Amino acid sequence: MKHYEVEILDAKTKDKLCFLDKVEPNATIGEIKSMFHKSHPQWYPARQSIRLDPKGKSLKDEDVLQYLPVGTTATFYFRDLGAQISWVTVFLTEYAGPLLIYLMFYFRVPFIYASKYDFTTSKHWVVHLACMCHSFHYVKRLLETLFVHRFSHGTMPLRNIFKNCTYYWGFAAWMAYYINHPLYTPPSDLTGLMISLRSQFCQIGNFSIHIALRNLRPPGSKTRKIPYPTKNPFTWIFLLVSCPNYTYELGSWLGFTLMTQCLPVAAFTLVGFIQMTVWAKGKHRSYLKEFRDYPTLRSPILPFIL
């Protein structure tokens, strides 16, 4: 059995950082990262990007050395991805913030509104419905993070958490300030109740899609499969869109916007729709590229439209 020699260069300076002798041909990039980490403890595997070209894409951890376009002396290029944080921690932080911030405005804790309104409650049912819907949404997200989602990538750059939290926490404060304001006048309570029920319908649909996607990937696996409808009627939308979790998410926030008729909620819904469309289009292109038999009738996020 032939062995490989592996040299790892800095992608920016081209300086040699590490030389590995007698590497097994069936060694994976993940294992090479671990070997590299032994000589450079400051760069743990999660923050390493190993590439065939200085400006190329990062190789996957599961890529096997002997199947890569390299000779018996393989040259790789390293880039530092920076300090990393687990996706679970990221999501828990992102979602716990809006939940707590909204409740602070709902209970009108001191120093938010005038002192005469401290710890008072609104007389409008829509305000209470909005709090229940908002809280349910983020409690669901927290529980899904802990018990449902399976992440193909274990970490993300630590710097991103500040950007993400600014987005989620900032919008939550903006929405909550106006919806729970003592002078806020909502639409009729009956209209709010009906729209609230439709919004929660979408929340259940979103949860159903997450369960269906989870069941496609066995624990500890990075296997990718085409998602198809199951016996759950909420998953039948897979017939028409590639990312129905985003479709349902959009539906729930549209319902919340109509229920509250609040400009900050509409702004959050619009920004979220734009971002989810970008993600959905990327996922749709990935499906089409990876699976030759991918259903052609599907759209990324909105049936027959987008």
- Is it the case that residue 223 has pLDDT exceeding 80? no
- Give me the torsion for CA of 216, 285, 77, 32, rounded to 10°: 10
pLDDT digits (tens, 9 = 90+) for 146-200: 999 877 667 888 888 999 999 999 999 999 999 999 999 887 766 667 777 778 8
Question: What is the pLDDT, as a whole number, of residue 72?
Answer: 83
How far is Cα 226 from Cα 104, in angstroms, rounded to an integer? 42
pLDDT digits (tens, 9 = 90+) for 241-300: 999 999 999 999 999 999 999 999 999 999 999 999 999 999 999 999 999 999 999 999
Record the tokens describing residue 63, joined without a space.
């890529």
Question: What is the pLDDT, as a whole number, of residue 272?
Answer: 96
pLDDT digits (tens, 9 = 90+) for 235-255: 999 999 999 999 999 999 999
The domain locations on the chain are 4-82, 85-290
What's the whole-model pTM score? 0.85
Eight-class DSSP state of 182? T
User: What kind and span of H or E run contains 196?
Assistant: helix 189-216
CA distances from 169 to 91, 175, 214 (A): 12, 10, 27
pLDDT digits (tens, 9 = 90+) for 166-178: 999 999 999 999 9
Topology of 4-82 in CATH?
Answer: Ubiquitin-like (UB roll) (3.10.20)
* Residue from 239, 229, 194, 222 nearest 208 by CA: 229
How far is Cα 24 from Cα 3, in angstroms, rounded to an integer? 5
